[in-house]
Amino acid sequence: MAGKNFYITTPIYYANDRPHIGHAYTTLLADVLSRYHRLLGYEVFFLTGTDEHGQKVQQAAALRGVTPKQQVDEYHLRFKELWARLNIRYDHFIRTTDDYHIRYVQQSLQELHDRGEIYEKDFEGWYSVSEEQFFAEEELIEGKDPIGGKPVEWVGERNYFFRMSNFREALIRHIEEHPDFILPDFRKNEVLGFLKKPLQDLCISRPRSRLEWGIPLPFDPDYVTYVWFDALLNYESGVLDFAFPDGSRAWPADYHLIGKDILTTHCVYWPTMLMGMGRQLPRHILAHGWWLSQGRKQSKSAGNAVDPLELIEDHGVDAVRYYLMRDMVLGQDASVTDELFRTRINTDLANDLGNAVNRVHKFVLSRFDGTMPAISTPGPAEDELRELTGEVRERTVELIKEIKLSFALEEVGRLVRGVNRYLENQAPWKIKGEDEKTLRDLGNILTTAGEALRIALSLLYPVMPEKSRQGLAMLGQPDEPTLDSLDWGRLRGGEKVRRAEALFPRIEARRPTERSEKNGEDSGSGRGKAGSEQKKTANAVAADPGALLDLRIAEIVAVEDHPAADSLYVLRLRSGEEERQVCAGLKGSYRATELLNRRVVLFANLKPAKLRGLESRGMILAADLPDGKARLLDPGELASGSVLRFGELTPSPRTKAGLKDFEKLELRVERGKILYGSRELNGDGDFVRCDAPDGAAVH
C-alpha cells in the first residue's frame, strides 16, 4: 500500500445479467475492506462498475428486442440498486460506455500500436461468447469452454493481435519476485503453471461486421476492441481524474478482487498489456472461490442463483453481510443454504454477540437508569478481559491486512465469547442491593464488559455498519467508530444508552413450504414460529401489490381427472426442484394430452385449498376468451422454476397470498403480453405472452 492510501477494485459486471450472490460477494468484500481501511485511518478509493460492450451484451439485447445501449442503460441500474440495498459505499461506478473510458481505451491502443506491439493476421479459433474468450482446441473440455462449460463457436477472420508472447518471461519474473502479487498462493502457482506453456498473442479486435457493439480501433475503424481489452482498462480510466489528499495518484491499484473464473484475464492478459504500454502493475490480485448452491457455481444460466435481495428481505442486510464475510475462507468455495445461514447467524450473532450486548444494556437500564457507570477498580478477571481484548484487536487488524476476513471475524467471536464467559463468572444478576459498594461492583462488571463489547462492535463495524451502530448506541456510544475507538478506556461513564430491543433476534427455521416453494432449497425442519414472523422484524417496506405474488414457471408432469368434479383436472406441477398438486378448471378448454409436459404460469403462494376433497396448492394463470374458454399463458423460452416479475418490480412475495391479492391487480392481455397497469409480466426480460384479444382478463 502506498503510505496510507488504499485503492481497491471489483470486476466490472456484465450488464446482461441480474446480479446474484456471487456478484454481491465480490462487491461486498471490497466494501468491507474499504471500510476497514477507512477505520484504520487510510484514505480509500473503491471502484466498481459494469462491463457494457461485447458479444454477450449485444446478444442479450437482441434477444430482448432492445438496442445494446437500452440494454446497458437498464441493466447497470440493477447493480446500482443492489449495491444501495447492500449498503455498499463505492467511490465511483464506472460504465465502459462512459466517454472518458472510451477515450482512454483508444489512447491506450494507439500507444501500444505506436510501440509496435500490435499486428494484424488471419486467425481461426474457438470462441466462447459466455466467457468472451478464445480457447485452444486442447483447452476445451468435451468440446465446451473449460471455465463455464458453455458451447464454443469456430471463428475464422482477420484480426489485430497484441504481442503478449513477448512478455511471458517478464511476467514470470515479476510473479516470482513479488510473491504476493497473486493471492492466494495456489492461484499464483496455477498462473505460473499456465505460463510454463508457450503464450499465444492476444487477439484484441473483432471485425465490425460481426460485432457492432464495441469501441472502434483508433487505427482501423472497421474493427472494434475486444471486450476484455476494453474492460480491464477500467481500473486505470476509472481513477484518471482522482488524486488522494496527499497528491498521489490512485494507480497502481492495491487490490484487484476477482473470482477464480477470471484469473487468466487478470493475471496474464492485464499485466502483459500494462507491460506492453510501459505502465505500472497492480500490487495484488486476489482471487476468491465460488459460492455454490446445490453443489454448483451459482449462476443465472445454471438456474441455481440465490437472489441476494430475497435474503436481505428475510434477514436484514447486516446478517447477509456477516454471513458472506464469515463463511467464505478466501480462495475456497463456499455454500449458502437456509440451514447454514440460520445456524451461523443464530450462533454468532443471536447467541453470542446479541446476548452479550443485550445483557449489559438491560443491566444499565434496570440498575443505573440507562446511564453507563464508570470503571472503578479492575481486579484479575477485569485485567484478563482487557488483555484478551488487546490481543484480539491486534490479531484482527493483522488478519484484515492479510485479507483473511473469515478468520478476522472468528477472532472477534473469540472476544465476544470471552465477554459472555466473564459475565457468567461475575454473575451480575446475583448482585442485589443498592448500597454504594454493591453498585460499584456491578458498575465495574458492566463497564468492563461494555468496554470489551464496544471494541468488538467497532471491529465489526465495517462488516455490519447498521447493527454495529445500534449495538454501540445500546452501550451509550452512538458515534461512528474511528481508529481511536479500538483503544481500551474510551468508555468514560455517564453516557446515556439508547433503549433498544434485542440486537439480533434468533432466526427460526422456516416451515417446509416457505423457501422450498420459492427456490427448491432444503428448508430445514420447521420448528417454532416461522418466517412470517421473521419477516415482520426484517426491514418491512410497503411493497407494491404486484410484488406480493410469487409467480413462476412450472411444468405439468402428470394430468388426471378429478374424481369428484367434472370440470377439474388434478395436475402434478414441477417448478425447479419442487413438486406440488394443483386442481385446475381447464377441462372445458384443454385435453389432457395438450397439458402434459406443458410449461405454465403458476401463482405459487396462493393459500392452499381443498377442492372437492383434494388439496390444491397454487393456481395456473390463463386468459378468458370471448367464447368462455380459457387460454393458458405462454412462457416462451422461460424454463421451469423461473421467477416472474411485472416490469422491474422486484418480487417480495407474501408467505401466503389470497385470491383478493390477485384480483386487485386486474391483469389483462395487451398486444399479446400480460399487463399489470403498464408493467409487463416477464422473467429476466423474457416476456410471458398470451394469444388472446386485447383487454382479455387473466384469471
173 to 212: interface string for ligand MSP, x by CB under 6 A: ----------------------------------------
Indicate the residue among 204 and 568 with the shorter CB distance to ligand MSP.
204
Is 268 a binder of ligand MSP (CB under 6 A)?
Answer: no
Say which DSSP state 138 is in.
G
Q: Among all chains, which residue has been given the C-alpha cell 401489490?
A: 545
Who contacts 123 (Cβ-Cβ below 8 Å, separation ≥6)?
156, 157, 158, 159, 161, 203
Nearest approach in angstroms of CB 298 to ligand MSP is: 4
Question: What is the grid cell recorded at 33?
Answer: 475492506
Which residues on adjacent β-strands are paired with residue 48? 93
Burial zone of 318 (CB within 10 Å; 0-12 exposed, 13-18 middle, 19+ buried): buried
Q: How far is CA 296 from CA 290, 293, 326, 515, 664, in A?
A: 9, 5, 20, 19, 39
Q: Which stretch binds ligand MSP (CB under 6 A): 169-177, 297-305, 468-476, 540-548?
A: 297-305
Q: Among all chains, which residue has been given the C-alpha cell 426442484?
A: 577
Measured distance CA(329)–CA(184) in Å, rounded: 11
Whether residue 483 contacts residue 41, with contact meaning beta carbons closer than 8 Å, is answered with yes
Q: Which stretch binds ligand MSP (CB under 6 A): 244-252, 255-263, 430-438, 626-634?
A: 255-263
Measured distance CA(263)–CA(186) in Å, rounded: 12
Q: Which stretch binds ligand MSP (CB under 6 A): 58-66, 153-161, 231-239, 406-414?
A: 231-239
Q: Residue 412 is inside which H or E element, if any?
A: helix 405-426
Indicate the residue among 244 and 291 with the shorter CB distance to ligand MSP.
291
Measured distance CA(286)–CA(91) in Å, rounded: 20
Whether residue 309 contacts residue 23, with contact meaning beta carbons closer than 8 Å, is answered with no
Whether residue 149 contacts residue 158, with contact meaning beta carbons closer than 8 Å, is answered with no
Say which DSSP state 661 is in.
H
Say which DSSP state 371 is in.
B
Q: How far is CA 310 from CA 276, 461, 532, in A?
A: 45, 23, 14
Peptide bond into 184 cis (omega under 30): yes
Nearest approach in angstroms of CB 149 to ligand MSP is: 14
Nearest approach in angstroms of CB 71 to ligand MSP is: 14
Is 18 a binder of ligand MSP (CB under 6 A)?
Answer: no
Nearest approach in angstroms of CB 128 to ligand MSP is: 12
Find the DSSP H helices in 566-644: 592-595
Measured distance CA(112)–CA(115) in Å, rounded: 5
Question: What is the grid cell recorded at 551?
Answer: 409467480
Taking CA 107 as the corner, what is the angle to CA 133 and CA 16, rounded to the nearest 5 degrees? 40
Indicate the residue among 6 and 229 with the shorter CB distance to ligand MSP.
229
Is 473 a binder of ligand MSP (CB under 6 A)?
Answer: no
Is 261 a binder of ligand MSP (CB under 6 A)?
Answer: yes
38 to 77: interface string for ligand MSP, x by CB under 6 A: -------------x--------------------------
Is 78 a binder of ligand MSP (CB under 6 A)?
Answer: no
122 to 161: interface string for ligand MSP, x by CB under 6 A: ----------------------------------------
User: Which of 290, 323, 504, 569 forms a contact with ligand MSP (CB under 6 A)?
Assistant: 290
Is 22 a binder of ligand MSP (CB under 6 A)?
Answer: yes
Question: What is the grid cell recorded at 218?
Answer: 483508433
Indicate the residue among 76 and 580 with the shorter CB distance to ligand MSP.
76
Is 26 a binder of ligand MSP (CB under 6 A)?
Answer: yes
Taking CA 249 as the corner, what is the angle to CA 246 and CA 251, rounded to the nearest 5 degrees? 140
Q: Is 43 helix (H, G, I), strand (E, B) or coil?
A: strand
User: Which of 7, 14, 181, 244 forms a contact with ligand MSP (CB under 6 A)?
Assistant: 14
Is 83 a binder of ligand MSP (CB under 6 A)?
Answer: no
Who contacts 142 (Cβ-Cβ below 8 Å, separation ≥6)?
none
Is 11 a binder of ligand MSP (CB under 6 A)?
Answer: yes
Nearest Cα residue to 290 out of 323, 335, 340: 335
Which residues on adjacent β-strands are paired with residue 333? none
Q: Which stretch binds ligand MSP (CB under 6 A): 69-77, 87-95, 257-265, 574-582?
A: 257-265
Determine the size of the site formed for ligand MSP (CB under 6 A). Answer: 21
Nearest approach in angstroms of CB 296 to ligand MSP is: 9
Is 262 a binder of ligand MSP (CB under 6 A)?
Answer: yes
Measured distance CA(429)–CA(113) in Å, rounded: 76
User: Which of 291, 323, 363, 603 forms a contact with ligand MSP (CB under 6 A)?
Assistant: 291
Nearest approach in angstroms of CB 26 to ligand MSP is: 4
Nearest approach in angstroms of CB 238 to ligand MSP is: 10
Indicate the residue among 17 and 661 with the shorter CB distance to ligand MSP.
17
Is 263 a binder of ligand MSP (CB under 6 A)?
Answer: no
User: Which of 68, 184, 214, 259 forms a contact with ligand MSP (CB under 6 A)?
Assistant: 259
Indicate the residue among 299 and 389 with the shorter CB distance to ligand MSP.
299
Measured distance CA(594)–CA(575) in Å, rounded: 19
Q: Which stretch binds ligand MSP (CB under 6 A): 6-14, 552-560, 664-672, 689-697?
A: 6-14
Is 297 a binder of ligand MSP (CB under 6 A)?
Answer: yes
Residues that bind ligand MSP in the complex, under the rule CB under 6 A: 11-14, 22-23, 25-26, 51, 231-232, 234, 258-259, 261-262, 290-291, 297-299
